């Protein structure tokens, strides 16, 4: 039957809407020191931020191959190899303008992903309902002929068939809209970079060091004044 085959094809495509891209950000060797120095003790280590060289894979528009950039820096917790989300650190970093810039860039991408996923999910549901209605429109009725022989007649509930077709078409449209709105591979890699990496030349390493040192100085001060743990 044509409808189920089309539905399977579109469902497979819609899965691309909700599947995230592979991680494109990697911590490199080394650590960039700040004026605050290293964390001292368990209290400071809990909230301390470390700056480290970070590689990000950028996919240029129109290309399917990623190009590595090793000139950025990311923020990490002590001992971690996974970069922190820069927008998630907005309050910790006093809503620094650099951080807010990353927040805006990432929000635009994430809003599109959420909308695309919602449209894709609604499309898949509508496809299922439409297909079920269309299939159920074929009804078999047992009738008795004049000679007393019983026969089966195939009838079509035209109203249900039309409704199924309309719902299916709407689901197909929703699914296609979700695929169109979903960010491209290039846009996803760019958003991943904005989420985790400060990149030159617009974002200078000295500015990042100053921002992180201020945060770490605040952590040190809070730990110094915190009551001793038993």
**Can you tell me the distance from the alpha carbon of 207 to that of 219, in angstroms, rounded to the nearest whole number?**
19
pLDDT in tens, 132-184: 888 888 877 776 666 667 777 777 888 888 888 888 888 888 888 888 888 88
> pLDDT value at position 178?
83
Asked whether residue 91 carries a pLDDT value surpassing 90, the answer given is yes
Q: Taking Cα atoms as reference points, which of 71, 75, 77 lies closest to residue 86?
A: 75
Asked whether residue 22 carries a pLDDT value surpassing 50, the answer given is no
Asked whether residue 90 carries a pLDDT value surpassing 70, the answer given is yes
Question: Sign of torsion, CA 35 39 45 50?
Answer: positive
**Can you tell me the distance from the alpha carbon of 228 to that of 43, in angstroms, rounded to the nearest whole number?**
10
Name the strands in the sheet holding 25-27, side by side, starting at the edge strand that comes first in the sequence. 25-27, 50-59, 66-76
**Can you tell me the distance from the alpha carbon of 110 to that of 88, in angstroms, rounded to the nearest whole number?**
13
> pLDDT value at position 3?
44
Q: Taking Cα atoms as reference points, which of 18, 21, 20 lies closest to residue 120?
A: 18
> pLDDT value at position 148?
65
**Can you tell me the distance from the alpha carbon of 72 to that of 154, in angstroms, rounded to the nearest whole number?**
68
Does an H or E element contain 130, and which?
Answer: helix 97-136
Which of 54-68, 85-99, 183-197 has the weakest average pLDDT? 54-68
Asked whether residue 93 carries a pLDDT value surpassing 90, the answer given is yes
Mean pLDDT taken over the chain: 84
Residue 192 burial class via C-beta count within 10 angstroms: exposed 0-12, middle 13-18, buried 19 and up? buried
Using DSSP's 3-state secondary structure scheme, residue 143 falls into strand
- pLDDT category at 101 given cuts 50, 70, 90 is very high
């Amino acid at each position: 039957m044509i409808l189920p085959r089309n539905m399977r094809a579109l469902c497979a495509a819609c899965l691309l809407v909700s599947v995230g891209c592979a991680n494109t950000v990697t911590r490199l060797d080394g650590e960039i020191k700040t004026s605050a120095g290293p964390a001292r003790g368990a209290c400071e280590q809990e909230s301390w931020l470390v700056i480290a060289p970070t590689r990000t894979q950028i996919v240029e528009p129109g290309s399917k191959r990623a190009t590595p950039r090793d000139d950025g820096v990311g923020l990490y917790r002590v001992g971690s190899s996974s970069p922190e989300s820069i927008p998630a650190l907005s309050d910790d970093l006093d809503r620094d303008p650099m951080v807010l810039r990353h927040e805006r860039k990432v929000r635009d991408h994430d809003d599109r992903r959420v909308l695309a996923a919602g449209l894709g999910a609604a499309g898949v549901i509508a496809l299922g309902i439409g297909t079920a209605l269309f299939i159920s429109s074929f009804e078999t009725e047992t009738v008795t002929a004049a000679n007393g022989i019983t026969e089966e007649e195939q009838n079509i509930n035209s109203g249900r068939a039309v409704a199924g077709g309309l719902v299916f078409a709407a689901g197909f449209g929703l699914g296609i809209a979700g695929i169109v709105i979903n960010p491209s591979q290039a846009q996803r890699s760019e958003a991943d970079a904005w989420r985790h990496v400060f990149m030159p030349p617009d974002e200078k390493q000295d500015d990042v060091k100053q921002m992180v040192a201020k945060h770490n100085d605040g952590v040190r001060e809070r730990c110094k004044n915190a009551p001793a743990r038993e």
